[in-house]
A and B are shown apart, each in its own frame.
Chain A
Amino acid sequence: KNQVEQSPQSLIILEGKNCTLQCNYTVSPFSNLRWYKQDTGRGPVSLTIMTFSENTKSNGRYTATLDADTKQSSLHITASQLSDSASYICVVGVLNDYKLSFGAGTTVTVRA
């Protein structure tokens, strides 16, 4: 069964600090891995997408890494801002399939 596990479930950080979110997956055959940001009451918005051959991808203060051998990914948020408060969802795509496997998300709260 294709699964995506995220940790931690939630975290609280002070504005300006960095944090790292983890994602482990068992999806096979692997196609790509995405990180989405979901603000409260909104739909998920894509931050990064990585294929098998990519091991890092940045989008502003967000940097995602991928280790396809260990089936792990991380999302690093640098110099956090209040607007970073959201749920971050790890999503893995299956080769030659339109279905995606979603993690339960990590809720990040940034405090002033």
Chain B
Amino acid sequence: GAGVSQSPSNKVTEKGKDVELRCDPISGHTALYWYRQRLGQGLEFLIYFQGNSAPDKSGLPSDRFSAERTGESVSTLTIQRTQQEDSAVYLCASSLMASGAFEQYFGPGTRLTVT
């Protein structure tokens, strides 16, 4: 079947605007992760969803960041009042179950540029 898809692939926005990023995980994958990848740095964990359990939001850098997931399907990451330091590639990944032993499959990412 299809892999993890993300949209848009690129987003340019003005400082102060809100943006919404979308992730479609692999069908049947109960776990979904959002990461931020800044140029020259390792992936930073943002948030994690597992089925209907409460999400782990411990990686969200500020209250301007939020995410939702409907059941075990689509997830959206919202950044309010964007700042220039939010410019990065935002990657979504899904896995069959929530464990480091299970493979995480990544989407192509959304490149966000805040001008």
CB-CB under 8 A for A43 and B106, given A98-B31, A102-B43:
yes
Q: Which chain A positions have C-beta within 8 A of B91?
A: 43-44
**Chain A's nearest CB lies how many Å from the CB of B106?**
3
> Most chain-B Cβ atoms within 10 A of its Cβ — which of A49, A94, A98, A100?
A98
**Chain B's nearest CB lies how many Å from the CB of A26?**
14
User: Which residues of A69-98 have CB atoms within 8 Å of chain B's CB atoms?
Assistant: 89, 93-98
Q: Mark B37-50, 1 if CB is under 8 A from A, else 0.
A: 00011111100101
User: Which residues of B19-51 have CB atoms within 8 Å of chain A's CB atoms?
Assistant: 31, 33, 35, 40-45, 48, 50
Interface size on A, residues (CB 8 A): 25
Contact of A46 among B45, B98, B103, B111 (CB under 8 A): B103
Q: Chain B interface (Cβ within 8 Å of chain A)?
A: 4, 31, 33, 35, 40-45, 48, 50, 91, 93, 95, 98-101, 103-104, 106-109, 111
Besides A44-B43, A103-B42, 13 more A-B contacts (Cβ < 8 Å) are A31-B100, A42-B108, A45-B106, A49-B103, A89-B43, A93-B100, A98-B98, A99-B100, A100-B43, A100-B45, A102-B42, A104-B41, A105-B42
